[in-house]
Amino acid sequence: MRNFGPSRGADAETIGKKVPRRKYASHGSRLPCELPSLGLGCSSFSTFFASDDEAPLTVDNMSRGHAAVKGWVETIRHAILHRGITLLDTAPWYGHGTSEITIGYALSDLLVHEDDAVGESRIHRSSIVTNTKVGRYEADPKLQFDFTYDATMNSVQRSLRRCCCRYFDVIQIHDPEFATSLSELKDETIPALVECRRKGWCKAIGITGYPLAVQHELLVSCNMNSDDTVFDQSLVYCHNNLHDMSLYDDQAFLWPNEIGRMSFAECCEKGNIKLMAAAPLSMGLLTCSGPPSWHPASQALRQACASAAQLCESQEVDIASLALLYALSQQEVGCVL
């Protein structure tokens, strides 16, 4: 069993403090030299996790005055200004646009303009890290995935407008396992993202998806067979959790010019690809209330997590807090979302 790290809960000394920061990339890298240990995953700025009987919020019916949107904007402001959670991770897929638009509402108030002064409620763009994604978009299965060059370029420009940003720190390929082929990604998506990086629309390129094997294949194919490194970052999800630590399976993969099999985390270290990990609560599995109806977990896993939650509750422990502490204690991961 891997280290759980500190187990004490919040107390008078810790309440109100900003989250600690971790070293991330080296000087001269396209990535930040340090990150907050906890980032703000912005998929919840949507009705993805709402109850089934709630009316969905869409880009067509949302507004700054909507009660939920006002709460989301305040969450972003509080996270950045009062907790030091300065990394925002979003995607066009999250709320099919509502997440990015919410970030835009918040940043239009937070970021200083040319004639403004930095203060308690205004910050420079360089003080935050904003990441988004390309490739996955609409709920309609026919429109859900598009990894073509033109779609990628158009998506990045739309995301820049929505988020009120001149650039993103990282743009990630979203769920590449759903591309028609590896060739489509190499011939269409990646050239578009490299062009976005050249234009200054992003600083670095990343990859995110559930199957670690797909990420591994793409990282080896692109980073080891290119004059210039394509990918600087890998974002994994649901593999740095109490019920799934396959990120650290030391017999999982081979890496070029290295002897023996190793874990995906070790592959990233060998390839100088920096890790982030999302969904420490496994998209609701590791909570007392349980996951939403659309969650892909098997019934057996749902039951096991529900039993674990009950066991924790019997010991006056919140399973969500335990799961978050466990994810944060893994030092190979620069930031947990």
Which residues are annotated as catalytic?
94
Put the strands of the sheet holding 87-89 in their side by side order: 40-41, 87-89, 129-134, 168-174, 202-208, 233-237, 274-278
Cα(93)–Cα(179) distance, integer angstroms:
15
Please name which of 193, 190, 255 lies closest in space to residue 220, comparing C-alpha atoms. 255
Tell me the β-bridge partners of 275. 234
| CA distances, 5 to each of 326, 327, 331, 337 (Å) | 7, 9, 10, 18
User: Which amino acid is it at 104?
Assistant: G
* Helix, strand or coil, per DSSP, at residue 237: strand
Alpha-carbon distance of 178 to 168, in angstroms, equals 24
Structure tokens at 162: 């929505």
H-helix segments, 190-318: 190-199, 212-223, 264-270, 299-314
Task: Assess contact for 207 and 173: CB atoms under 8 A.
Answer: yes
Residues 174, 246, 86, 228: is their CA dihedral positive or negative?
A: negative
